[in-house]
Amino acid sequence: MMAAMSSKPNEPHRPRRLRRGAGLRDAVADVIIHPNHLIYPLFVINLEYSKPVSSMPEVSQLPVKEAVGRIRELAGLGLRQFLLFGVTPADQKNPQGSYASSPEAPVNRVLREVRQAGIDAVMYADLCFCEYTDHGHCGILSGATADARRSGSAHACADVDNDATVARLAQTAVVQAQAGADVVAPSGMMDGQVGAIRRALDEAGYPHTAILAYSIKYASTFYGPFREAGEGGMKTGDRRGYQMDFRRSREWRIELEADLAQGADMVMVKPAATYLDIVRQVREATSVPVAAYHVSGEYAMLHAAAQRGWLDLKASALETTCAIRRAGADLIVTYFAPRLIEWL
């Protein structure tokens, strides 16, 4: 008799079987974010008091002492990677951004103090001039652009002098390595910057200092809040003459290959959450570690929605960070890092 047979069709695929209960769900979750994967950006300043960044809740510009204290505290909690950005007082800014290579610049002071204190942290130094130049561009302007600015032309298209900027980046990298950076992170998108920095570091006796190249960095509106945080906004023009055009879907490979050939130890895709397709493709195209930067605007969006009660901050931050990891990022630069180590 066939009576014992179920009237239901045979269903070998019932994905819900593995969703029954937290234990099973956790057991089969294969995308894991560990504190080791997170890099926390800090804005450091040569002032006595910290200053909150209004467009980035929970983020402040930190005086050197406070920054070192925060690094010590977070390292004790298992968050051990930090990316330093320096804030420059207006009276120290100039067309070349010379303050970047001053040993007294806050980034270099924090690096020295972290090393002297023997804190167990991996220290990355952002290497770019936009927080140091008076015009706010990521490098030295070409002669024609500088002349147009002097004559007051509002339409001066910002043309950054690639090779002059690269030479200054290389010198600045050596100062950062000397101060104690484990990794320098050039973010200015100048052609040839990685090779020049590598040579300068090697010649100066820093062959062990690594380079995290911001290889694939798009000209993005999502950097808006960062420009308040780093006080590195441009007086005129934009960055489309050096950062990548988000309408080009294949150019990443050119940047990636160039930086790897020049000695990049790790590469970065930036922004992250709005460029997951690029993160995935870069992950598949290379075996070096791939970092992705969940940028200020992507961070601010979640906070803004959460403040209005439109999104849950914790859930949306965890989901977004997981998406970046799932796309293939080995390392995630995120302002959520201290919260994530609480939540994970």
Any contact of residue 244 with ligand PBG (CB under 6 A)?
Answer: no
- Whose CB is nearest to ligand PBG? 226
The yes or no reply on residue 193 touching ligand PBG (CB under 6 A) is: no
* Binding flag, residue 295, ligand PBG (CB under 6 A): yes
CB of 76 to ligand PBG, least distance (A): 25
Closest approach, Cβ 339 to ligand PBG, in A, equals 16
Least CB distance from residue 214 to ligand PBG, whole Å? 7
CA distance 268 to 266: 7
- Contacts of 12 by beta carbon, 8 Å cutoff, 6+ apart: none
Distance of alpha carbon 254 from alpha carbon 247, whole angstroms: 15
Tokens of 214: 């911001």
Catalytic-residue membership of 217: yes
Is residue 130 within 8 Å of residue 230, measured between CB atoms? yes
Query: CA nearest 289: which of 210, 222, 199?
Result: 210
Catalytic residue of the set 51, 65, 93, 217: 217
Q: Is 337 in the site for ligand PBG (CB under 6 A)?
A: no
Q: Which is nearer to ligand PBG, 142 or 220 (CB)?
A: 220
Known active-site residue 51: no
First to last CA, the chain: 55
Q: Residue 84: which of 7, 200, 183 has the closest Cα?
A: 183
* 188 in contact with ligand PBG (CB under 6 A): yes
Candidate ranges 3-11, 126-134, 140-148, 280-288; the one touching ligand PBG (CB under 6 A): 126-134
Closest separation between CB of residue 34 and ligand PBG, Å?
Answer: 22
Rounded to whole angstroms, the Cα distance separating 2 from 54 reads: 72
Size of the site for ligand PBG (CB under 6 A): 11
For the segment 266-285, give every residue that binds ligand PBG (CB under 6 A).
none
Q: Give 206 or 226: the residue with its C-beta nearer to ligand PBG.
A: 226
Of the candidates 124, 226, 242, 275, which one interacts with ligand PBG according to CB under 6 A? 226
Which of 223, 242, 252, 336 is the binder for ligand PBG (CB under 6 A)? Answer: 223
Of the candidate residues 67, 130, 196, 256, the single one contacting ligand PBG (CB under 6 A): 130
Q: How far apart are CA 159 and CA 237, in angstroms?
A: 9
Interface with ligand PBG (CB under 6 A), residue from 81, 108, 176, 296: 296
Which of 81, 101, 187, 215 contacts ligand PBG by CB under 6 A? Answer: 187
Q: Does 138 bind ligand PBG (CB under 6 A)?
A: yes
Q: Applying CB under 6 A, which residues contact ligand PBG?
A: 126, 128, 130, 138, 187-188, 223, 226, 239, 295-296
- Which residues are designated catalytic? 217, 270
